[in-house]
Chain A
Amino acid sequence: MTEPDLLAMYEQMHVIRKTEKAAHDLFMAGLVKGTTHLASGHEAVAVGASAALRPDDYVFATYRGHHHAIARGAAPEECLAELMSKATGLCQGKGGSMHLTKASSGMLGSYAIVGSHLPMAAGAAWSAQLRGTGQVAVAFFGDGATNIGAFHETLNLAAVWKLPVLFVCENNLYMEYTPIGTVTSVPNPAADRAGAYGLPGHVIDGNDVLAVHDAVAGAADRARAGDGPTVIEAQTYRHYGHSRSDPATYRPAEEVEHWLARDPLPLAHSRFTELGVDAADLDAAEQRAEQTVAAAVDAAKNAPDADPAEAFTDVWADGGSAWRT
């Protein structure tokens, strides 16, 4: 990877971090309704993976998906505008925080039914295989999704059909308020299941953006070569609570401390400077991220509200919602 690549990754991680902070503050200020599931702490997974993918590859994410939308090219402004029910939002106010989507850059949605999108990613990979395009599809999902039937059905189908799909688990140790380890039969909920389907399963440091990049690049190469799916379990941690204003008091202080000391952003800073990137250039990238997000917040706040008429568009491919004569 070149120095500009590293700087771009670093800037993007900061854009995500600051967008999430803005989303949190806007939620607390009552400007974002409903709920949010923030991905602060998970930045390295999205940015590292995205940097390893082709622009035309497909990505499917969960309701905790802001980082994937941004990593695949959604502007912070369109994300925040969507959270704030604005007309300029990614989904014109019909999606919200849990459904950020940027289909024009292959980010095919954020899904709020745990595990539901794994079959879809397999299907997109199947489509790429049928059309012979060399694209891969990636499903990002939480540790909780590994106990859902669709996860197991999909790993099997994808293995049997040798689909060019990557299953990337963001294991942040919790499903809402319950530790994954207390309800799962194996220590590594995703990777330890891979073998049952004849798939490689890798446990990686999900806070190290370069480790994520390398694992995803390797799995994508393998998939493009026709050798089938890979399961990657990226160990990470969320900095906020599960959703909304959850203070996450169910997490032991030492655990939080341990993970905050492994914050992916400072980690990237030290990894990149070790590789010879100038610290001043990294700090300048962070400054740019700061400005980008500040401008995005202003723009989103000043954007017009979602048009009520949009409630009746986009059910059908003709743009409408008529269901009867």
Chain B
Amino acid sequence: MADVVTYREAVAEGIAREMRRDDTVVCLGEDIAEAGGVFKTTVGLLDEFGPERIWNTPISEQAIVGAAMGAAMTGIRPVAEIMFSDFLACCWDYLANEIPKVRYMTGGQVTVPLVVRTANGGGLGFGAQHSQAVENWAFAVPGLKIAAPSTPADVVGLMAAAIRSDDPVVVFEHKGLFASKGDPAPADHVVELGRAATVRDGTDVTIVALASTVPTALAAAERLAADDISCEVIDLRCLVPLDVATVLASLERTSRLVVVEENPYQGGWGGTLVSIVADEGFDLLDAPIKRIAAACVPLPFADALEDQVIPNADAVADTVRTLAAY
């Protein structure tokens, strides 16, 4: 096995592992077969599993996700790809009204064990319609599980859990992380949905991050260590289930919280997280809670502009310093 693998390779590896162990797992999406996906995240799957299990689709987001839903209700475990997460808007009915509700509104008569995977987030200069971090869209809908890995090993482990889950799971793969490298996942690696990872221990400030903001938070923490500020960094890994317990336990040590989100501040997932902390963890806090999220504007194209909008390590470090001094 390679010493390190890319996040991109881990996507295909995670899917392939599940397809080997369960022949009801089937993939569908635009350009996923011969082309291996526009982000090359499904490379090798067609060769290994053939056209009976790797299905190219027309550019029909509603048909892709709606068909995945119907298949999931009837004995298949589909893994549907929506090329860019921005395009979830084209099939939002399925994510907002159909998939998360059908089990409930039928009184539990059907289950929908499907995965919708999608390339999320900015930093690559794709402009306003191909760069959004939209995990908060999904977070607004009860009935969807949401995973957003930050490392190759977690990609594999969360993909395994997502595909094995009898509940619908949206997996946000981060475009900006596809080229990043990390340890390969061990054999049979499964990361239970709803288990955050404490990726750096610390005592002064807790930084909660997700997907792309995990490396941002770690970079800030490294810098702050030079100033003798000790940061604990939590990678949430999932938004639903939301691992509040790990965050509250960390605050017992640090008493200070910074949440770093790539989705917009306006309606971002951190708002929900910090409202729980304010409610249930008020006594743990020695300083105000800070949220660092994307600015509330559409994503601009030019690097210099995009840098203004998406949270970076400088902003995290500055905020942590003010909290540490509080």
Contacts and interface: CB of A to CB of B under 8 A. Distances in A.
Interface residues of A, number: 55
Interface stretch (A47-55, A268-276, A291-299, A308-316): A308-316
A22 interface: no
Contacts of B194: 324-325
A89 to B, nearest CB: 8
Contact of B240 (A120, A154, A313, A323): A323
Interface string B142-168: 110000000000000000000001110
Given A113-B98, A150-B63, A103 B106 contact: yes
B6 interface: no
Given A121-B70, A317-B166, A156 B105 contact: no
A127 B67 CA distance: 9
Contact of B97 (A101, A113, A125, A160): A113
A247 interface: no
Contacts of A316: 103, 166-167
A130 interface: yes
Contacts of B111: 317
A75 to B, nearest CB: 15
A123 B104 contact: no
Given A122-B66, A157-B60, A325-B242, A109 B71 contact: no
B270 interface: no
Contacts, number: 169
A99 B103 CA distance: 11
Contacts of A71: none
Given A156-B60, A314-B108, A119 B70 contact: yes
B93 interface: yes
A149 interface: yes
A156 to B, nearest CB: 6
Contacts of A149: 62
Contact of A314 (B61, B63, B66, B104): B104
Contacts of B65: 119
A95 B167 contact: no
A149 B65 CA distance: 13
Query: Which DSSP category, helix, strand, loop or mixed, fits chain A's interface?
Result: mixed
B242 A324 contact: yes
A3 to B, nearest CB: 34
A315 B244 contact: no
A231 to B, nearest CB: 16
A120 B106 contact: no
Contact of A116 (B75, B97, B113): B97
Contacts of A314: 103-104, 106-108
Interface string A123-167: 111111011000001000000000001100110110011000000
Interface in B194-246: 194, 240-246
Contacts of B67: 119-120, 122-123, 126, 154, 157
A128 B74 contact: yes
A58 interface: yes
A109 B110 contact: yes
A54 to B, nearest CB: 14
A128 B75 CA distance: 9
Interface string A78-115: 00000000000111111100010111100011010100
B58 A153 contact: yes
Interface string B257-284: 0000000000000000000100000000
A154 to B, nearest CB: 5
Contacts of B241: 322-325
A319 interface: yes
B68 interface: yes
Interface in B85-141: 93-94, 97-98, 102-111, 113
Nearest to B108: A314
A324 B109 contact: no
Contacts of B72: 123
B26 interface: yes
A196 to B, nearest CB: 14
B69 interface: yes
B180 interface: no
Contacts of A321: 142
A13 B213 CA distance: 60
22 contacts: A92-B107, A101-B109, A103-B106, A113-B97, A120-B67, A122-B67, A126-B70, A127-B70, A149-B62, A150-B66, A153-B61, A153-B62, A153-B63, A154-B62, A157-B67, A314-B104, A316-B103, A321-B142, A323-B242, A324-B194, A324-B244, A325-B245
Top 10 nearest A-B pairs (CB, nearest first) are A119-B66, A123-B70, A317-B166, A123-B67, A120-B70, A314-B108, A91-B107, A153-B60, A103-B109, A153-B63
